[in-house]
Each structure stands twice: as C-alpha cells, then as structure tokens.
Structure 1
C-alpha cells in the first residue's frame, strides 16, 4: 500500500471588495489572495480495500455531506473514472471557519494529490472545472500562484507579486458565517473596484487594505475591533480582516521582535496566535 503526503496551505485575503450580486446567487469580487506558511497535512494511501476519511482536529469530524475533501475526492474519481479506494488522513492546523481557506485548500490539495498519483496534468481543464464547482476559493489553491488577484467570483485569477512580509494572525475561537456576512452586507448597487498595481505592496497603496466586510463584522463583533487596535500598538504597517473573518492579521515588512508574538500568546488566552510569512 503506497502512501503520499501533501501540504495544504492557508491564505489571506489581503483585499476583498464585493462589486455586485450575480443572478446565480454568487457575488462578483475583486480580491487579492496570498498563500502563507500555515499548513494542514494530507496523507493519501492508495489501493485500500475500502474508503476512509480521518480528520485530526480540535473541532471534531466534519459530516461527509458537508466535507469539501470528500466532495473533491468523489468528483475526481467520477470525472477520471478511478475505481481504486483510498484512505485519506487530514491533520488540521489551519483553524476551521477562520477565513483562512482551510477547507478550500484541502479540497484543492486532494485534486492535486490525486492528479499526481494518477499522472494527470495539473493544468488539466477538468481539474479546474471540479475546483470551481466546489467553491470560489478552490481554483486559487489549485493554481500554481502564491499570490493572485481574483475576479469574477474569485475564480478568474491574475498573477500578483508575493511581496515579502511577516503576518501576525489572531484567530478567535468562533466562526463567522460567510452566508450571514454576504446577506447583511447591504450591497444595493454595483460598483467598480479600487484597483491595486503590482508596483508596490497592497498595504502601501493610498487606499490601504480594503475589506468590504470589515465595518459589518466589527459592528457585530466589537472584540475584533479591539484586536485590531491591539495589533496596531505593536507597530504593524497595516491591519485587516481575512475574508469575512474572524481572523485579524497585522503586517510587518521585517520580522517583528519575538516578544510581540509572545506577549499576544500570553495575554490572549481564548484565541490562536500565529507568526507567519508569505509563500514565495
């Protein structure tokens, strides 16, 4: 029985602008994705007698009918007519429901992993069709880009520079429903995006890091506003919300003193704190 191990990275939305509501229920976006060095581990054993999916997480198992790993696995097998069974083990490090794309990344990693195992080109259009059907963020994780502008529903990708930075992440121990966030955004008219050039890092643009959900989410969860203020006191050059939250991240262009990370870990007992870099 052959075993394969793959890393599944998290992402930040450095920018997230919601432009219009679509007839299919999705929204047109302008976002900047950035992969970061926070990973889940996915192990695939090939040629097992039966299928098994194991999650190692402090949040317990996710029901199969809601699990993007399972959905990606089934769609891959059906699309490429694979008859073998597999044992899949997902060791979670990326917090669940934190706006860091862990589920989407896991789904894309399953597609990439199985494509590698069965000799299917990663640029195969059918893989991207599966990815898009699974969720708006999955194509980015399937792509070779470590940073990209996402347009359409986030699936139309334009390469973007991965500007060197350190990210201090604070992940509260609650989730924010993406559905709730979009339903309550109050978007009434279509709008044009504020564009970001590739010449300077997005946090150096005059408009800063735009996230259209920030005011809504901070109003509903004042604790997140307090975390933003706390990060600013440590000298971050920018602070924002990833996706619809609840993760707050602060950006340093040089590695911050270690006491910053240690202080937050010590004083914020009910959250997870990470000090990370972007992938390059």
Structure 2
C-alpha cells in the first residue's frame, strides 16, 4: 500500500517575542498562515523493519537527522511497529527558508503513517506527538490561520484569511533559526507587532490593514546581517505590495497583494533577480491526502 500527501508551507503575519524561559526557550506570540506551496510525500511499505528516506533535494539529509525520519521512528518505537517504511519527499518548498518545510514533512509522516498503520490516533494526539519533534509541527498538521503562543505550542485557531495573493521570495542562502534567536536582544527588537490589532483586522477581513501592520521582531537580527532582506522588501513594496515582511527567522520575504494581477507582475519582476520566487495563495488546510 502507498499513501501520498501534500504538506504545506507557512508564512508568519507577525512574530513577537514576549519573554524567555529559564531553560532558554523564547516565549512567542505569532500569527501563522499556511499557503498553497507544498512538498509531496509518498509513504509505502518496505522490506525489513527499517526506515528508508529519499528526497529530491541533495541538501536535505536522508538519515536520522531528518525530522520526517524522526517522525517515523517516533511512531515505530511508540507502537512497536515491526514493518519497514519507505519515505520519499519531493521538495517544492525552499530548504532552510523559515517556511516550516521540514516541520510540515514531519507532520505529513505522522498523519500518513497513522493511516497506513491503522494507529487510530486523533488529530489532537498527533499534534501532541508532533510537539516532541518541533514547535511548528502541530500547526503544520492542521494549518489554516492560527495564533501561536507559549514556545509556539499553544495554538488558537482564528478566522481564516482566505484567497489572499502572496508572493514569496527566498534569497540564495539559509539562516539558522537557533542562531537568530540566540542573537536576539529582548531590549532592542525594533518594530514589534500589535497582535491584538492584527487579530482584529483578520476578524474584520481587512487585508490591507493586516498587511500594513505586519511585523517580525526576528528581522532585527537577520536583516541587520543580510541587507538583501531589506532590498527584497523594498522591491515588493515598489511592485505594489500592501505590506511585506520576513517570515520565520528568514531569509525568506513575502508580500501581500490586492489582486492576482499585481501579484503576478511582482512575481515576474522578482524572479528575474531571485530564482526562488513563488506566487501563492493562503490555504486553510495543513496536511492533505493527495488522492489524485
């Protein structure tokens, strides 16, 4: 038997850091949104008892360092599954982009193996397991528009931001999320988002106000090191974006656009400078079985 799944990327409409725990974890408040850019994962039975992982990207590890591999190992250990499993990942989401590409792959493996192995886990149980793998994994399972608090583990579903055109642009390098958080100065984070106000804009469906109010405190670290982030944001705004910020810890930048025409023109222009540029829409689902 073989199962195919779409595992979706995310962007952050906002990221704020509101404190730091004694164990070093940062306390965050952020609004996350899935988009219709996704990886394709195929799960199938394999001879023996082991886990085999292949990936279309040569820079993604295909062993126990891969978070999707860890997801399969977690379920095998927890349920004593003796079967072998083959995981194939067709990468479409840029790697090391701050878009939860790895986390959504892990989410897909959890959801897919739950079905393939008839484990009977509920969505909530899968999300609890996902948290053992990474803070973004529970969100990636369900997707949509969500307020994340705590260390990113407390998720509150909010009104969907539907059918909004977004252009995503990743420069040709990656950054370490851990390093960015480590370098963040809590007393000097630059522009912070007004989360309550942004939630109000989403509730009213005021996309222009949402776009104009977006902010990400992690820009204070990544943007200071890589001027190209400011450059891409400026290009987005010049191409009539309603607002533009960095997503996650970067280096990816995205812009929200009023309509398809503006977004398409912006994508065409930015793609001439940065190959990993994508025109996408907001999506209210996370992991989805790919029946086609």
Residue of structure 2 equivalent to 1:236? 241
TM-score (norm 2): 0.87
Task: Quote the residue 2:11 is aligned against.
Answer: 12
1:153 is paired with a residue of what secondary structure? coil
**2: CA distance, partners of 1:249 / 1:128:** 27
Alignment counterpart, residue 150 of structure 1, candidates 148, 151, 160: 148
Counterpart CA distance in 2 for 1:192 and 1:234 is 23
Q: Distance in 1 between matches of 2:124 and 2:159?
A: 24
Change (3 A) 1:21 1:193: farther
SS at match of 2:195: coil
Whether the 8 Å contact between 1:203 and 1:209 is mirrored in structure 2 is: no
Provide the secondary structure at the position in 1 that maps to 2:43.
strand
Unmatched tracts of structure 1, length 5 or more: none
Q: Deviations over 1:16-60 (max 9, x none)?
A: 111111122211111111000011011011253353110111x43
Structural RMSD (CA) = 2.2
User: Which deviates further from its counterpart, 199-208 or 247-256?
Assistant: 199-208
Contact 1:29/1:154, CA 8 A, preserved across alignment: yes
TM-score (structure 1 length as normaliser): 0.90
Give the CA deviation at 1:14.
Answer: 1.1
Equivalent residues in 2 for 1:44-193, closer than 5 Å: 44-49=43-48, 50-57=50-57, 59-62=58-61, 64-123=63-122, 125-142=124-141, 144-163=142-161, 164-188=163-187
- Tell me the secondary structure at the aligned position of residue 69 of structure 1: helix
Aligned residues: 274
1:6/1:238 CA distance change after superposition, 3 Å = same
Q: What SS does the aligned partner of 2:92 have? A: coil
Give deviations 1:116-149, integer Å, cap 9, x for gaps: 222334525542332111111011012x341111
* Aligned-partner Cα distance in 2 for 1:130–1:67: 16
Q: Could you tell me which of 184, 200, 209 is aligned with 1:204?
A: 209
Q: Which moved more, 1:132-141 or 1:44-53?
A: 44-53
Query: Of residues 275, 279, 283 in structure 2, which corresponds to 1:279?
Result: 283
Q: Secondary structure at the match of 1:176?
A: coil
Classify 1:103/1:54 alpha carbon distance in 2 versus 1 (closer, same or farther; 3 Å). same
Partners of 2:279 and 2:193 lie apart in 1 by 34
Q: Which region of structure 1 is more displaced relative to structure 2, 62-71 or 36-45?
A: 62-71
